Structure formats: structure tokens, C-alpha cells
């Protein structure tokens, strides 16, 4: 946690207007004319590469054509029928490594159709209506428990509800939405969009929400299997990797994900203390997000240090550029070797340069030290299996995450899983949504049989 007593960590570094500007929409929504011009750039490809590249397989050429023909709500429905969190995905998907990377216009001229922004245009149009475009099938009388109300759980619950099943979502947190609510960078989803989307999804009906209920504490897999006809687990990643350096538990070192959650939940950004000099350790989306957001909160020097080269970084070039535009420095090929402490708090980090040799990564012996007020750990999150396998029959784990088959069935009959907590797949919102959808279809088939 942040220690507010040190002089170089302070809240309210900026004016009220600066906070607003810094945490506003990263991309302002397209207006009608922009949307028409941009959607007209789509070639309506056959067996479109962008669709193949979308983890949820949204029919992109079709929805773009619907925008072009001034049917944006139809476009929105096309999107949501493949991806019920299409609104959030439009804001947070790293499109430059997904649909837009595959767009033939990227190949042709380095300027893909701006699919993400157009997806937002269409889903905004549909959701502005407030009406739920999907209708529930006749009630089946079957009940399904969904553990975790993140993208995976929400997607699964909605699809099950569409098929007429009754769903209860249990979530350990006070609000559902998962990392949409607690993790995604604030400027990607301003204006309370995450909760608006949750409300929209729940408006299908047939879904009950039980917030503040944690698996392993308030109930177990066994109790759920007794009470429900099927169980879906979408609990995400509750743990964080450790630096494994002396002093890690002293003030001055924070977990990036926890700090972002605090940022996302605060009513007053000016009340959030931030250091003058920040060091972020890691190379993924979380590293980029904590760096950019602390800069936007008024930090002066923010440096990301990543142990490998730029090409290996989890964050895309586009995201790196965003951070660099915000004034973040990114250092490559250096790994932390020691934390410098002074008076019971961490005041610096010593790094050693690294080089990739055949076997892996090795230190070169050269070192440097960065003085810092706050160190953020962003070196990856981990699945915590304890809650899952506390009692009863064990669910098989592989490489630290839940093992599933193609239909997202776990080793335990009647239990499915998806999202960040399963093996394989990228840790992305859109991937979690697809997992939830696939699992729901599989559950539906199982319940019908």
C-alpha cells in the first residue's frame, strides 16, 4: 500500500481540469460522418481475415456494411450476437494485434479499417436505446452457477440466459465486472461504462447476482454441484508474481494491479497519492497501464524496465507508443537484482543488463540503479487454486491454471471454466468472452441431453 508520509509521494499534484483531461476517453467516439467514411473503407472481404483474427469471430465486414448503410443498431446486434461484451472489447481490445493487424488494408497501406472504433460506434448506438436485443428462450428450469462476474462469467451467464436457463453469478468483490471494473485503464473506459454494460447484460433477465460471495470461503465447488445443474468458473487471476528480492514487502513497493483497482474505484483522483519518481517492473499491458496512469496522475519520471527486448514485450508497439507519448521511459534488457532501502522503505532499484543467449536470459554483469519513490510490480498474475480445490474432488491443474478441453470442460463432470484462470489463450477480455460463450453452448448441450 501507498505510504503517504514520505514527502515525495503526494496526492493532488494536478488541477481539477488536468485530471479530467488526463482520464478522459483515449479515443473520442466517432461521429456519424466519420463512421460512414471509415466503414466505407472496408472491402467486404471474402472469408475475411479480420474475422478469423477476432477471438469471438464477430462478422466484421457485415457490421461495417450495416454501419455504412445507416443501420448502426443492426451493426450493434451483429456484434453482440458474437460478443455480448462487444462494447467493452471495442474500447480495450489491442486491435493492433487482433482484427486490425489482420485487416487487408493494413497489408495494403499500413492503415487498417478502424474496426475497434467502429465497433464502439455501433454498440454505443444500440446500447443508447437501453433495450436488450436478445430474447430469452422458454425457461428450461435448469440452474447454473457462475463463479466470477468478469468478462468470462458475464458472457457465459448471458448466453445461458438466452437459452432459457436460470443463472446465479457469485463474485468475491462488491461489484461484478471483474477487471473491466477494477483493472482496465481508466481512460479506456470512462463514464462508468463497465457497470452500464453489466446492467445491459443483466437486463436479459434470468440472472441473479450474488456479490461479496467467494468460492472457498462462502461456498465450495461441491456445494455448487449439489445445488446447481452446472457450474462455470471464471475467477481470473487472484495472485501476483513476486520479485523475490529482499525488501519487497517494505513500503515503497506496490502491486500494480491493486493500485489500478484503487484508481478505478476512487471518486476523487486528486485524493490518490502518487510518487514523483516511479519505477515499473514488467513488460505487459499492466506495466504500460500503471506507467501511463501514474504519469497522468502527475508523476514526473516514470520508467518501465523490462528484462527482455522490445520484440518480446507483451505490450504491443502501439501501446508502448501510447505510454511513450505520455512521457514514460521504457528501458529494455535489464532485470532487477536488488532493492535499495533507506529508513525502512524502498528508495531505489538496482538492475543488471541482460542478454539473450541460446539457453535463455543471462545477466551481463553491468548494473545501474534508479532512485524511486514508488516501485510497481507488474510481472504477471497467477491463478490461485486453493479456493477451487479446498475440499472434495480436485479439478485438474496444468501449468498453474485450470485444465480444460475444447468445450471448456474441466476434469470434473458438470464443471466448466474459462477466462484468465484456464490454461492456454491470451489473457485478454475478448478471449475471456469467447471462453464464456463456448462454455455456455457446451453447458446448454449438456443440459439438453
Partner 1 sequence: MADLRSDFVGIKSPNPFWLASAPPTDKEYNVVRAFKAGWGGVVWKTLGEDPPIVNVAGPRYGAVHAGDRRLIGLNNSELITDRELQVNLEEIKRVKRDWPDRALVVSLMVPCEEPSWKAILKAVEDTDCDGVELNFGCPHGMSERGMGSAVGQVPEYIEMVARWCKASTRMPVIVKLTPNITDIRYPARAAHKGGADAVSLVNTINSITSVDLDNFAPEPSIDGKGSHGGYCGPAIKPIALSMVSEIARDKECAGLPISGIGGITTWRDAAEYMALGAGNVQVCTAAMTYGFKIVEEMKSGLSRYLDEKGMTLSDLTGRAVPNVTDWQYLNLNFVTKARIDQDLCIECGRCHIVCEDTSHQAITATKDGRRHFEVIDSQCVGCNLCVNVCPVEDCITMERITAATDPQSGAPATGYRNWTQHPNNPMAKLPEPAE
Helix (H) or strand (E) holding 154: helix 151-162
Interaction pattern, residues 97-116, with partner 1; x per rule: CB under 8 A = -------xx-xx--------
What CA–CA distances, in Å, run from 236 to 13, 388, 405, 410, 427? 34, 12, 18, 15, 9
Contact partner at residue 170 from ligand SF4, ligand FAD, partner 1, none, CB < 5 to 8 Å by partner kind: ligand FAD
Q: Which three cell numbers stand for residue 217?
A: 470461503
Q: Which of 140, 142, 137, 82 is nearest to 414 (CA)?
A: 142
Provide CB contacts within 8 A for 386, sequence distance 6+.
216
Instruction: Please measure the distance between the N-terminal and C-terminal CA atoms of the chain and give it in whole angstroms.
Output: 51
Q: Which residue has the cell 513476486?
A: 242
- Cell (9 digits) for 99: 482484427
Nearer to partner 1 (CB atom), residue 31 or residue 311? 31
- Map the footprint of ligand SF4 across residues 113-142, applying CB under 6 A: 113, 115
* Between 66 and 420, CB nearer to ligand FAD: 420
Cβ of residue 187: shortest distance to partner 1, in angstroms? 29
Among 11, 14, 26, 104, interactor with ligand SF4 by CB under 6 A: 104
- Is 112 a binding residue for ligand FAD by CB under 6 A? The answer is no
Among 30, 103, 224, 238, binds ligand SF4 (CB under 6 A): 103
Q: Kindly determine how many residues on this chain lie close enough to bind partner 1 according to the rule CB under 8 A.
A: 15
Closest to partner 1 by CB, 33 vs 244, is: 33
**Residue 42 binds to ligand SF4 (criterion: CB under 6 A):** yes
Task: Evaluate whether 392 touches 385 at the Cβ level (below 8 Å).
Answer: no
- 236 binds ligand FAD, rule: CB under 6 A: yes
Q: What is the separation of C-alpha 204 from the centre of its chain, rounded to a whole number of angstroms?
A: 23
Q: Which of 50, 85, 185, 440 binds ligand SF4 (CB under 6 A)?
A: 50
Which is nearer to partner 1, 26 or 45 (by Cβ)?
45
What is the phi/psi pair of residue 416, to 5°?
-115, 160
Per the structure block, which three cell numbers stand in for 215? Answer: 468460492
Does position 232 bind ligand FAD by CB under 6 A?
A: no
Cα of 220 vs its chain's centroid, Å: 26
423 binds partner 1 (CB under 8 A): no
Question: How far, in Å, CA of 234 to CA of 171, rounded?
Answer: 10
Residues 386-415 touching ligand FAD, rule: CB under 6 A, are 387
Give the shortest CB-322-to-ligand FAD separation in angstroms: 11
Angle at 290 between CA 285 and CA 291, to 5 degrees: 100
Interface of this chain with ligand FAD, residues 267 to 326, rule: CB under 6 A: 285-286, 289
Quick one: which H or E segment has residue 377? Answer: strand 374-377
C-beta of residue 176 within 8 angstroms of C-beta of residue 208: no
The residues in 176-205 that bind partner 1, with binding defined as CB under 8 A, are none
Q: Which is nearer to ligand FAD, 61 or 236 (CB)?
A: 236
Binding site for ligand FAD (CB under 6 A): 92-93, 147-153, 170-173, 176, 178-179, 183-184, 188, 214-216, 234-236, 238, 257, 260, 285-286, 289, 387, 419-421, 427-430, 432
Amino acid at each position: 500500500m501507498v505510504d503517504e508520509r514520505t514527502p515525495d509521494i503526494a496526492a493532488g499534484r494536478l488541477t481539477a481540469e488536468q485530471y479530467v483531461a488526463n482520464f478522459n476517453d483515449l479515443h473520442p467516439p466517432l461521429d456519424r460522418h466519420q463512421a460512414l467514411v471509415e466503414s466505407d473503407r472496408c472491402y467486404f472481404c471474402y472469408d475475411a481475415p479480420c474475422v478469423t483474427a477476432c477471438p469471438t469471430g464477430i462478422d466484421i465486414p457485415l457490421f461495417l456494411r450495416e454501419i455504412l448503410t445507416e443501420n448502426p443498431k443492426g451493426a450493434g446486434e451483429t456484434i453482440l450476437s458474437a460478443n455480448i461484451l462487444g462494447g467493452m472489447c471495442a474500447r480495450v481490445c489491442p486491435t493492433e494485434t487482433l482484427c486490425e493487424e489482420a485487416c487487408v488494408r493494413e497489408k495494403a497501406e499500413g492503415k487498417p479499417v478502424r474496426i475497434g472504433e467502429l465497433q464502439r460506434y455501433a454498440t454505443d448506438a444500440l446500447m443508447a436505446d437501453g433495450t436488450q436485443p436478445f430474447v430469452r428462450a422458454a425457461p428450461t428450469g435448469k440452474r447454473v452457477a457462475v463463479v466470477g462476474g468478469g468478462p468470462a462469467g458475464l458472457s457465459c451467464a448471458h448466453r445461458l440466459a438466452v437459452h432459457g436457463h436460470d443463472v446465479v453469478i457469485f463474485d468475491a468483490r462488491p461489484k461484478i465486472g471483474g477487471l473491466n471494473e477494477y483493472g482496465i485503464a481508466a481512460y479506456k473506459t470512462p463514464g462508468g461504462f463497465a457497470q452500464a454494460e453489466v446492467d445491459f447484460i443483466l437486463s436479459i433477465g434470468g440472472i441473479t447476482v450474488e456479490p461479496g460471495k467467494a468460492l472457498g470461503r462462502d461456498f465450495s465447488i461441491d456445494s455448487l454441484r449439489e445445488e446447481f445443474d452446472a457450474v462455470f468458473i471464471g475467477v481470473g487471476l487472484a495472485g501476483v508474481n513476486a520479485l523475490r528480492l529482499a525488501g519487497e514487502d517494505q513500503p515503497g513497493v506496490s502491486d500494480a494491479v491493486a493500485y489500478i483497482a484503487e484508481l478505478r474505484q476512487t471518486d476523487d483522483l486528486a485524493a490518490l497519492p502518487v510518487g514523483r519518481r516511479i519505477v515499473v517492473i514488467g513488460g505487459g499491458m499492466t506495466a504500460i497501464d500503471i506507467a501511463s496512469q501514474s504519469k497522468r496522475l502527475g508523476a514526473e519520471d516514470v520508467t518501465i524496465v523490462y528484462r527482455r527486448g522490445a520484440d518480446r514485450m507483451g505490450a504491443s508497439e502501439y501501446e508502448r507508443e501510447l505510454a511513450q507519448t505520455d512521457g514514460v521511459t521504457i528501458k529494455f534488457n535489464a532485470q532487477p537484482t536488488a532493492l535499495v532501502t533507506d529508513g525502512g522503505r524502498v528508495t531505489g532499484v538496482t538492475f543488471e543488463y541482460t542478454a539473450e543467449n541460446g539457453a535463455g536470459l543471462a545477466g551481463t554483469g553491468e548494473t545501474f540503479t534508479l532512485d524511486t519513490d514508488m516501485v510497481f510490480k507488474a510481472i504477471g498474475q497467477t491463478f490461485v487454486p486453493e479456493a477451487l480445490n479446498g475440499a472434495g474432488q480436485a479439478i485438474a491443474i496444468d501449468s498453474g491454471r485450470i485444465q480444460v478441453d475444447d468445450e471448456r470442460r474441466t476434469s470434473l463432470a458438470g464443471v466448466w471454466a474459462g477466462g484468465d484462470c484456464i490454461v492456454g489463450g491470451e489473457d485478454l477480455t475478448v478471449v475471456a468472452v469467447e471462453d464464456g460463450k463456448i462454455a455456455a453452448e457446451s453447458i446448454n448441450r449438456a443440459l439438453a441431453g
